Amino acid sequence: MAGLYIHIPFCHSKCIYCDFYSTPRIDSLDQLLDALLREYQRRHDEISETFSTVYIGGGTPSIIPTDKLAQLLRSLPVGDAKEFTIEANPEDITSEAVKAWRDMGINRISMGIQSFDDIELKAIGRRHSADDAARAIETIIGHGITNISCDLIYGLPGQDAASWRRSLDRLLAYRLPHLSAYCLSYEPGTALYARMTAGKIRPTDDEALEEMYALLCRRAAEHGYEHYEISNFALPGMRSRHNSSYWTSTPYLGLGPGAHSFDGSVRRYNPGDLKTYITAADITVIDNENDDDRFNDVIITSLRTSDGLDLGKLTEKRRNYLIKTASPFVTDRSMIKTGQNLRISEPAWFRSDAILRELIV
C-alpha cells in the first residue's frame, strides 16, 4: 500500500490565516500540469507499490477546469486507488464538477467549510457563505459521492462558544463520514498574525479554546464519530486512509511545489515555489535525517492518533527512554500505557504539543 499526493498551489485569493504555499497565478496551470507529469516520470521508481490512495490537495484543486484535471489523471497511475480524494472549496462545487470528478474515479471530497457563520467566514477572508457550504454538501451527495469530509475551525475572530456550537451542530446534522476541526493558528507571515500584532484582533484565550475542543470531542462522540487523530473524527470504517498513511509511516509520493514524500526510509520535499518548480529540471531535496530525527518522526506522528505508538517496534534503548520520559504523563493520566502500547489520552490531546516537546530527543 502506498499513497500519491498531488499538490495544486492555486487559490482564488488568500485566506488571512493561511500559511500554506499557494498563489493566485492560475495562468501557469498548463505549465504546472506539464511539470507534474515530468516530476512523476522522473521519480516514479522511488515507490514500487501501487497507489491505493490518491489525494489531490492544495491550495484549491477544485479551481482547475475539469477537462485539464482529467487530462493530468489519464497520465498518472491512479486506477488502483481505493480512496481518491480531491480538496474543494464550497464556491467551486457545481453539478458538472462533481459529475466530472466522479467520472475520473474521485470518490471522496474534502471541503473547507470552516464555519457556518457568515460574519466569521468574512472575517477570515473566505469567499463562500454558510448557505453556499450547505448547498455544496447537498450537491455532492446528490451526485453520488457520499464519502465527504468537511473542515471546521475553532477560535475564529468573533467566534464564541455558542456560535462554535451552532457551526458544529449544523455540520454534525449531515452525519457525513468524516470531520476535521482545527484550532485557529496565528502563523507569522500571515495577515491574521499582522492584525494580531497591530492589536486589531485578539486571539481566543486558551481556556475558551479548551472548552471548544472539549465540546467538539463530546458532540462528535454523541453523533457516533471515532476521534482517531487530534483533529480528525470519522464514522466507523471511514477514517481517511490517505492521511492515516502519514501517521503510520506508509510510503507516499508527493508531486508538486511544496509536496513532501516518504519512500519508507527517506523523506524528500519540494520547495514551495511555483516558478522554480515549473522551470527547474529537478528541485526535490532529500531530507537528511539522522536516527534521532527518525525517532522523533515516529513519536510525533504516531502519538497524534488514538492507536498510539507500538513500543515493541522501538530498540530497547529508545523504548526505555520513552517509558521513563512518559512516566510523569502516565501518572497524571495524560498518557495511557497498555502493555506495549503508549498513547495520549483524548482530554490531553488539546495540549499534545507540550507533551510531544518533552518526549522528543
Write out the residues near ligand SF4 by the rule CB under 6 A. Answer: 11, 14-15, 18, 20, 22, 58-60, 89, 112
Least distance between ligand SF4 and beta carbon 67 (Å): 22
Least distance between ligand SF4 and beta carbon 134 (Å): 18
Least distance between ligand SF4 and beta carbon 258 (Å): 11
- Between CA 14 and CA 16 the distance in angstroms is 6
Least distance between ligand SF4 and beta carbon 61 (Å): 10
**Hey, what amino acid is at 295?**
F
Q: Is 278 helix (H, G, I), strand (E, B) or coil?
A: helix
Least distance between ligand SF4 and beta carbon 135 (Å): 18
Judged by beta carbon, residue 59 or residue 177, the one nearer ligand SF4 is 59
Least distance between ligand SF4 and beta carbon 253 (Å): 21
Judged by beta carbon, residue 211 or residue 273, the one nearer ligand SF4 is 273
Judged by beta carbon, residue 69 or residue 355, the one nearer ligand SF4 is 69
Q: Which three cell numbers stand for residue 196?
A: 494580531
- Between CA 110 and CA 53 the distance in angstroms is 14
* b/e map 31-49, b = 16+ CB within 10 Å: ebbebbeebbeebeebbee
| Residue in the structure block whose three cell numbers are 528541485 | 283
Q: Is 10 helix (H, G, I), strand (E, B) or coil?
A: strand
Helix intervals (H) in 186-235: 191-197, 206-222
Judged by beta carbon, residue 53 or residue 110, the one nearer ligand SF4 is 110
Q: Is 233 helix (H, G, I), strand (E, B) or coil?
A: strand
Judged by beta carbon, residue 89 or residue 334, the one nearer ligand SF4 is 89
Q: Are the C-beta atoms of 155 and 209 separated by less than 8 Å?
A: yes
Least distance between ligand SF4 and beta carbon 136 (Å): 14
Closest CA to 17 of 159, 189, 257, 168: 189
Judged by beta carbon, residue 18 or residue 298, the one nearer ligand SF4 is 18
Least distance between ligand SF4 and beta carbon 336 (Å): 34
Q: Are the C-beta atoms of 98 and 139 separated by less than 8 Å?
A: yes
Least distance between ligand SF4 and beta carbon 50 (Å): 29
Measured over all CA atoms, what is the biggest interatomic distance in the chain, rounded to whole angstroms? 57
- Between CA 348 and CA 352 the distance in angstroms is 6
Rounding to the nearest 10 degrees, give the CA dihedral for residues 194, 196, 198, 201.
Answer: 130
Judged by beta carbon, residue 148 or residue 303, the one nearer ligand SF4 is 148
Phi/psi for 222 (5° steps) reads -65, -25
Rounding to the nearest 10 degrees, give the CA dihedral for residues 121, 127, 133, 135.
Answer: 140
Judged by beta carbon, residue 58 or residue 155, the one nearer ligand SF4 is 58
H or E segment at 245? helix 241-247
Judged by beta carbon, residue 111 or residue 217, the one nearer ligand SF4 is 111
